[in-house]
C-alpha cells in the first residue's frame, strides 16, 4: 500500500464515517478516486487532510467531508450530472463513480486544463470538462438530474436552477453573507422547487457567486 493509499483509507475512517457518511456507493467513490491527482503537486502530501485546499486564484477544493455529505444527499445511479465550478475536477470524478455522465463546468482555463489532465490520468471517460460562464450553467447538455456547486454561493442562480430536470436534485453550500454556510438540497417536483437544509458548512465562496458587494463577473 502506497502512502497515498494509506492516507485515503484514513480519510474514509477518520473523516467520512464519523460524520454520518454511511452510503456504500459514496464511500466506494472516495476509496476509488485518487484525490492527490486533483491538487497542485506541491500540496499532494496533504491531499487528504480535512481542510479546503487552495487551488490558486481564489479557488479551493472542498474538504472531503463536505463533498461526501453533499453527494450522499444528492447523487443517484444513472444521473446526468452538472458540476458548476468544477475546479480541478475532483468532485466530478467522484460523481462519475455514482452517476451515468458528468459535465464539469469551469470558467478558469488553467483549472480546466488541470482537470482534463487529471481525468485522463485517472482514465475517467464519463466526465466532460467544458469551459464557460459559471453563472449560466451549461444548457446544451441539460436538463440534469443532479447539479452540484464546487464551492459556497451567496444564492442559487435562477439560470442554473432552470437546468434541473423534473425530480432532479441540486446541492450547494449557501452563504448569503459573511457567516457560516448551510448545505442545502433543492428538489424539483411538479415544476416547483423545494429546499431543505442538510448541515452547516464553512466552505470558501466560488468567486463569481460571492455576495453582491464583492461580485465578480464570470
* CB 145 within 8 Å of CB 81: yes
**Per-residue pLDDT band at 216 (split at 50, 70, 90):** low
How would DSSP label each residue in 190-209? TTEEEEEEEEEE--PBPGGG
131-174 pLDDT per residue, tens: 999 999 999 999 999 999 999 999 999 999 999 999 999 999 99
Q: How many CB atoms lie within 10 A of CB 42?
A: 7
Coil/strand/helix, residue 45: helix
Q: What CATH number is associated with residue 35?
A: 3.40.50.150
Backbone dihedral angles phi then psi of residue 153, each to the nearest 5 degrees: -130, 150
Task: Report yes or no on whether pTM surpasses 0.85.
Answer: yes
| Residue-range definition of the domain harbouring residue 97 | 3-214
Q: Is the pLDDT of residue 19 over 80?
A: yes
Among residues 129, 191, 183, 126, which one has the least CA distance to residue 164?
191
Please give the tally of structural domains in the chain: 1
* CB 216 within 8 Å of CB 208: yes
75-99 pLDDT per residue, tens: 999 999 999 999 999 999 999 999 9
29-38 pLDDT per residue, tens: 999 999 999 9
Return the half-sphere exposure (C-beta side, CA atoms, 13 A cut-off) of residue 32: 17
* CB 148 within 8 Å of CB 95: yes
Amino acid at each position: 500500500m502506497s502512502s497515498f493509499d494509506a492516507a485515503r483509507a484514513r480519510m474514509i475512517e477518520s473523516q467520512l464515517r464519523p460524520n454520518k457518511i454511511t452510503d456504500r456507493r459514496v464511500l466506494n467513490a472516495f476509496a476509488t478516486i485518487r484525490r492527490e491527482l486533483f491538487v497542485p503537486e506541491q500540496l499532494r502530501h496533504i491531499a487528504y487532510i480535512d481542510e479546503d485546499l487552495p487551488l490558486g486564484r481564489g479557488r479551493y477544493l472542498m474538504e472531503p467531508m463536505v463533498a461526501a455529505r453533499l453527494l450522499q444527499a444528492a447523487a443517484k445511479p444513472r444521473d446526468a450530472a452538472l458540476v458548476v465550478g468544477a475546479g480541478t475536477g475532483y468532485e466530478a470524478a467522484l460523481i462519475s463513480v455514482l452517476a451515468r455522465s458528468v459535465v464539469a463546468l469551469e470558467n478558469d482555463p488553467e483549472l480546466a486544463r488541470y482537470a482534463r489532465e487529471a481525468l485522463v490520468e485517472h482514465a475517467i471517460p464519463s466526465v466532460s470538462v467544458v469551459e464557460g460562464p459559471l453563472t449560466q450553467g451549461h444548457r446544451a447538455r441539460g436538463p440534469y438530474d443532479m447539479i452540484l456547486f464546487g464551492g459556497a454561493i451567496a444564492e442559487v442562480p435562477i439560470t442554473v436552477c432552470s437546468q434541473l430536470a423534473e425530480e432532479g436534485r441540486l446541492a450547494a453550500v449557501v452563504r448569503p453573507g459573511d457567516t457560516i454556510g448551510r448545505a442545502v438540497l433543492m428538489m424539483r417536483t411538479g415544476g416547483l422547487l423545494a429546499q431543505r437544509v442538510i448541515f452547516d458548512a464553512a466552505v470558501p465562496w466560488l468567486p463569481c457567486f460571492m455576495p453582491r458587494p464583492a461580485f465578480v463577473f464570470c
